Amino acid sequence: MAAGVGVLLTLTLAVWVNSGTASATQSSGTTLPAASAAVPVALSGIDLHDGMVLKDGDTYYLYGTRYACGFRWNTATPTNFCGFGVATAPSLAGPWSQITNLFDPNSIDPYNGRTWRDECTRNNNAGCFNPRMVQRSSDGVWILWFNSVADYADGPGRNSYNAMGCAGPAGPCGPGAGAHGSYNKPKIYTCVTNGDFGIFTDGTSAYLICTMTNQTLAMEKLDVWWTNGTGNVAGNGVTNIAGYTASEGPGAYFDSTSGKWVMTLNYDNCGYGSGCGLAYATAPSPLGPWTAPRNWGIAVDSKARATISWNSCGGQPRTVSVVDGVPYQIIDLWVPDANDDSRNQTNAGLLITPLVFRDPPNTPGVPWQPFEELRCYQPGSSATATTR
């Protein structure tokens, strides 16, 4: 599928039977957060992956990496970089618009002078992934972050990240894209790495959560422009978060009910997996200290009590997007291709499902469920519609 060409979207809306109000109530009368009343949405037939969703005004924006032009990850045979796309809709349930690219894959990477097609397919198709769109709180400018994996291999101290100023939430982004179109190769001090990442804000500042090359997690506060790190300042960088050692796909949000920051992640490295663990950690502030619930016993899985779901509804956790005040876990529903090696994911689906944090005390000897069960769908109550 060529960039910018409309696609036929098959939308499966997984309807969870719940109150339609902003909150739901347990039988005990305890009021639960708005996420309890939210419904999961499953999307198929849309070539946007490892991305995120946001709402601006009355419009929802879905972002992701595209595969349909022929990209195949980590192969010696030359392929193609299809770009990062965005689709819009009046609701999470759609209908979603045709996909447009946020910038031209044939345009030049100002950092090294290559085209983005060359940059994102060099080093055996190392790829470019994880488009993250944020709106800077100080002036409303939209900024696109993503990683180009091969940059990290260019030498000591290099990082894979890129930041572009955009004309708006639907782009275009980068040099020439209007008054705010720009490019910056971020100066990074803590997250000197090439892995999956997430960006979240506290309303004033922004923070980069990154997967290090040894699969641990780190975090770095961004500067006032949200385009560079500040890990060179004491206290602005955190490493070895919560003891996770095989991590991918981090994201974070503030849970107003508990007053805690909550981070979710793909627990146990699981590239293109069709069933990967989702775990969490919490902190009193964005820079921590981040902790995961302790487990007790002999020869136990140390993170078993921190696990939200063992198979993440049959997909791989990607990041967290807060939409309409509800934190949603973004899950890529990866599929094997004709060679059963999963390196082209044009046909993969997407699940956007609400997270409800219960925040129970970590007390052994009593039932333990730190989150409401992850909602994949309600058997017998799903509806399918075909939309453009």
In terms of Cα–Cα distance, which of 193, 184, 3 is closest to 109?
Answer: 184
Measured in degrees and rounded to the nearest 5, phi and psi for residue 113 equal: 80, 0
The tens digit of pLDDT for each residue in 43-92 reads 999 999 999 999 999 999 999 999 999 999 999 998 999 999 999 999 99
In terms of Cα–Cα distance, which of 133, 123, 114, 128 is closest to 67?
Answer: 128
Average pLDDT over residues 120-135: 97
Distance of alpha carbon 45 from alpha carbon 187, whole angstroms: 37
The tens digit of pLDDT for each residue in 318-373 reads 999 999 999 999 999 999 876 767 899 999 999 999 999 999 999 999 999 999 99
Residue 60 in tokens: 């929802």
Q: Is 349 helix (H, G, I), strand (E, B) or coil?
A: strand
| Contact assessment for residue 81 and residue 71, using Cβ atoms and an 8 Å cutoff | yes
| Contact assessment for residue 261 and residue 286, using Cβ atoms and an 8 Å cutoff | yes
Distance of alpha carbon 349 from alpha carbon 333, whole angstroms: 5
Going through 100-160 in order, the beta strands assigned E by DSSP cover 100-101, 128-135, 142-148
- Residue 377, pLDDT score: 84
- Residue 36, pLDDT score: 81
Instruction: List strands edge to edge, sheet with 217-221.
Output: 197-201, 206-211, 217-221, 237-238
- Residue 74, pLDDT score: 92
- Residue 234, pLDDT score: 98
Q: DSSP string of 73-112? A: TT-SS------EEEEEESSTT------EESS-TTSB-TTT
- Residue 157, pLDDT score: 86
Average pLDDT over residues 260-274: 94
Assigned CATH class of 9-23+31-387: mainly beta
Q: Is 385 helix (H, G, I), strand (E, B) or coil?
A: strand
Instruction: State the average pLDDT for the chain.
Output: 89
Q: Residue 207: pLDDT band by 50, 70, 90 thresholds?
A: very high
Looking at residue 116, the DSSP 8-state letter turns out to be H
Q: Residue 33: pLDDT band by 50, 70, 90 thresholds?
A: low
Is the pLDDT at 202 greater than 50? The verdict is yes
- Residue 379, pLDDT score: 43
Distance of alpha carbon 37 from alpha carbon 326, whole angstroms: 10
- Residue 10, pLDDT score: 35
Instruction: Kindly tell me the sign of the dihedral angle through the C-alpha atoms of 55, 59, 60, 66.
Output: negative
Distance of alpha carbon 333 from alpha carbon 311, whole angstroms: 11
